[in-house]
Amino acid sequence: MTGKLEIQWSPIENKFITWGAGICLYEVYSTLPEAVPNSHVFKISESHYAELKMTNSNFNYTRSIDVYPKCEADLLLAIGLTNGRVSLATFHPSPEHDVRGYVGKELVPRHARCCNDVLFNPVEGNLLAVGLDKYRADGSVLIWDINRLSSTLGSDCLPMRQSSIVSSGSLSVSVSGAAATATAAVEVAKPTHEFGTSETAYSLTWFRGSPKVMAAGMNGKQIKVYDLRDPNKMINSTFTKGVYGVCTNPNNDRYLASFYDTQICLWDIRNFEKPIYLIPPEKGVVQIAWCPTKQSALASLQRDSSVLDIFDIQHTSSSEEAEPTVLERVITPGSPHNITSFSWHPTDYNRLLTIALSGKRKIKKNIFSCFLIFSRK
C-alpha cells in the first residue's frame, strides 16, 4: 500500500478522506483552526484549511473504499481488501451507525480473491456492490443489502477483536472500525445478488435514474449491464477494452464513460455497440470521474502528471448516434508533484480536490470560470 494514495470527498460537504498506508479523515475550514498543532493542519487553497482529525490504521491491505451516501454526521466506510472481504468501519464510536449494527461487520465471499471495487448505491444506500477477481464458478459482482445483516452474533458469526481509541494531542487514532466498548460481529452472510460467474469485475457503477440497474467492466473485454429485479438476465453489454473506471453521468445516466490505458470511451447506453466518442490522451489514464454538479463535465488524470484534463461534453443532438462536441481544458492545481488521485466536491460547483505523491492536498476553486476552454485538436 505504500505506493497508493487516494482521496475522496465525503457526502458531508466539509469532510474528506485519504487512504494509502492508512485511512485519514480531514475536516475543511475557511479559517485557520485554533488550538490545533501545526502538524495536523494543511493549507489546501488560498481560502481553505484542512485539519487531520483521525486516522484508522487497522486495514493494511486496502484495495478500494467507498463512503456510505446517507451519512449525516459520521462517516461509514466500506473497505475492500485484497482477500475479497469488505469491512464496514467508522473512525470512532458512532451512535448514527452503531444503532443500525453496521460497524464492525465483514462481508465475506465464498472464496478469497482480490477486491477490485466497492460502491454504495447512491439512491438506495443500503445496497453495496463489490467487484472481485475470478474464482472458478463463483460470481465476481456481489450485491449486499447491509440492512439485512444481523446486529447480534449467530452460529455462523465470529467475534471481532475489540478496538481502542488512542489520543495524541487533538488527534484521535482509531485502531479498528468498531467501538472500543463493544465487541462487533463478523457477519458471514450471503449476498442478495450475484453476477459474473467465472469472470473478473474491474469496475462498477450504479444508474441514479434506475437504482436497481448497474454496470460493470468485466474480463478486460466487456461492459455488462445488470438489473437487480431480473438477476438471471444481463440486459445490455458491449465489447471493449475500456473496462476500467466505468462510471455513469450523474446528471444523465444514459451516458457512461470508461477507459483503458490510452483511450477514454464515451458511451450512450441506448446505442451500446460502440462508443459515441473516443478521447486519446497523451499518456496512460489512471482515473476518470464525472462532475456531479456541472452537466456533462468529465475529469481525467493521466499517469505521471501534475495537471488534470476537464472535458466539456456537449450533446448537440438528442439522436443516440450523434457524436458529441468535446471541449478540453487543462487544470493546474498548483503543485509541481504528480497527482495520484482527485475527487469532485459532491455539491459545490466550484471545488475539485487533488492529492499528490508528496501528500500535498489542493482544492482548486472556480475551475469552470478561471481557465480558458480550448478545443481538442
pLDDT tens per residue, range 294-314? 889 999 999 999 999 999 998
**Cα 352 from Cα 308, distance rounded (Å):** 10
Instruction: Convert the pLDDT of each residue in 136-161 to its tens digit.
Output: 999 999 999 999 885 543 333 332 23
pLDDT of residue 322: 75
The CATH class that applies to domain 240-377 reads mainly beta
In 3D space, the residue among 45, 50, 65, 51 whose CA is nearest the CA of residue 4 turns out to be 65
Q: What is the pTM of this model?
A: 0.85
Q: Is the CA virtual torsion 64, 68, 69, 75 positive or negative?
A: negative
Could you tell me the residue ranges of all domains in the chain? 240-377
Q: Which helix (H) or strand (E) holds 95?
A: helix 95-98
Percentage, residues of the chain above pLDDT 70: 83
In 3D space, the residue among 149, 156, 134, 23 whose CA is nearest the CA of residue 84 turns out to be 134
- CA distances, 328 to each of 171, 204, 280, 368 (Å): 41, 26, 12, 11
Instruction: Indicate if the pLDDT at residue 184 is higher than 80.
Output: no
Q: How many CB atoms lie within 10 A of CB 241?
A: 16
Per DSSP, 271 falls in state: B
Query: The cell 487516494 sits on which residue?
Result: 6
Write down the mean pLDDT value for the chain: 83
Is-contact 319 301, C-beta < 8 A?
Answer: no
